[in-house]
Amino acid sequence: MTAPTPRKSPRQQRAHATCAAILEATARILESAGPEALTTNRIAEVAGVSIGSLYQYYPAKQAILAELVRAQRAALLTDLQDAVQQAAGLDLRATVPLLIAASLKHHAHRPLLAQRLEAAEKTLALDAETAALKAQIDALVVKVLAQRGVADPRQAAFDLAAMVTGWADAAVMAGDSDTVALAERMTRAANGYLGLAPGSVR
């Protein structure tokens, strides 16, 4: 019922290719035509695969979207873990920009896709695995902030994530491609939120 995981795991290489083609086709339709134009028949067509093959690996249309969302979350977790490792020994002021840069990475790569997946996530009933990833991400940020003396690390982690995500989406829509400058402006806001004195960012 609530099992948006692949219905059958691909064992051979061409099966993996089929799954990948389906996911990529879904991503491309999402980018070029939006969620309203995302139909299973069209996904199969763009992927160059028969509709039957699609349903051999994904039990429902939603499952394909869920898989993309899950992958995006997993990538974010990895990038954040890297950032945290890089921030070892650094103080709060130096850590924040690293976290922001990690969060912005996916928006920089395929901006429209990232935005549409986030929108889809709000409507989708996300599976247990994706929920677990979200929890891991949250816990990671909470821990980093707490270690650096932030007063209410839970609240702060939530607020900073909300701020960066929504802001990044809007920037993407407006065609702002200068991620570095965007990250710098976000850092200013985050510093203000955390009660850090303005100071020159460099």
Partner DNA sequence: GCAGAATGTGAGCAATCCCTCAGCTTTCCA
Partner DNA sequence: TGGAAAGCTGAGGGATTGCTCACATTCTGC
Look at residue 122 and give the partner it binds from DNA, a copy of itself, none, a contact being a CB closer than 5 to 8 Å depending on partner kind. a copy of itself
Q: Which of 16, 179, 4 is nearest to 101 (CA)?
A: 179
Where are the alpha helices (H) located in the chain, listed in sequence order? 13-33, 40-47, 51-57, 61-86, 92-109, 111-123, 128-147, 153-173, 179-194
Look at residue 171 and give the partner it binds from DNA, a copy of itself, none, a contact being a CB closer than 5 to 8 Å depending on partner kind. a copy of itself
**Residue 183 CB, nearest approach to DNA (Å):** 37
Total length of the chain: 202
Look at residue 53 and give the partner it binds from DNA, a copy of itself, none, a contact being a CB closer than 5 to 8 Å depending on partner kind. DNA
What is the signed CA dihedral for 77, 80, 86, 92, rounded to 10 degrees? -140
Stretch that binds a copy of itself, among 29-37, 47-55, 73-81, 140-148 (CB under 8 A): 29-37
If one asks whether residue 138 binds a copy of itself (CB under 8 A), the answer comes out as no
If one asks whether residue 197 binds a copy of itself (CB under 8 A), the answer comes out as yes
Whole-angstrom Cα distance, residue 82 to residue 98? 9
**Residue 74 CB, nearest approach to DNA (Å):** 22
If one asks whether residue 14 binds DNA (CB under 7 A), the answer comes out as yes
Compute CA distances 23 → 18, 26, 96, whole Å.
9, 5, 33
Question: Which positions touch a copy of itself (CB under 8 A)?
Answer: 34-36, 115, 119, 122-123, 155, 158-159, 161-163, 165-167, 169-171, 173-174, 185, 188-193, 195-198
